[in-house]
Amino acid sequence: QTLFCSPPCKTWTHGCYDAAIINVDPCFKWPKSSQKGHVVGQLHLLMCPFGKRGGRWLWTDHFLVYIQHFDIAAEDVTHLHILRHTKRANGQCLGDVIPLSQVWAFAHLIPRFRQTADNRLTAYNSFKHSTKFYLNKYFDKNTYFALS
């Protein structure tokens, strides 16, 4: 499965970042354990640390990912989980660096609109300007069974 994270460019002025199901407790396995031991995060940066030349390095061929966390709120009448970026006290999104091996599956998010949509929204900036999202469990059968 391919996950996408790209920095800002001419088309994607705020960047393009996929969301994923991330394992935070090794006792639980996706999709069998459903949401237990898992969170949803948005991938922002993929990196591979390296040590001094000629030295033995424990992190050889281990990739890390910077993610921004989502809070999972209750379901509404759609039976979809509602997500919102986890924020620090100063309003910045809460992020973390984790091993890529903890990223389990693509998470399909849909911006949640109110009665009227923000007129600034386009296909290229809807994740930047939206504050809440639906976690689409109907995206594929594996996600559906894991989240139902």
Question: What pLDDT does 5 receive?
Answer: 87
Cα–Cα distances (Å) from 49 to 14, 17, 52, 103, 119, in that order, read 25, 21, 10, 18, 41
Q: Which two tokens stand for residue 33?
A: 């354990």
Q: Per-residue pLDDT for the chain (148 aa), expressed as one digit of tens each?
A: 788 888 889 988 888 899 999 998 888 887 777 788 889 999 999 998 877 777 777 767 789 999 999 998 877 788 889 999 999 999 888 999 999 999 988 999 998 887 777 788 888 887 887 888 999 888 888 888 788 7
Structure-derived torsion over alpha carbons of residues 100, 147, 14, 124, reported in degrees to the nearest 10:
130
Question: What pLDDT does 100 receive?
Answer: 92
Question: What pLDDT does 138 receive?
Answer: 86
Please, are residues 19 and 70 in contact by the beta-carbon 8 Å criterion? Answer: yes
Question: What pLDDT does 67 receive?
Answer: 95
Whole-angstrom distance, CA of residue 55 vs CA of residue 62: 16
**Taking the CA of residue 70 as centre, how many other CA atoms within 13 Å lie in the half-sphere pointing to its CB?**
27
Question: What pLDDT does 4 receive?
Answer: 85
Whole-angstrom distance, CA of residue 137 vs CA of residue 83: 13
Question: What pLDDT does 98 receive?
Answer: 93
Whole-angstrom distance, CA of residue 100 vs CA of residue 48: 10
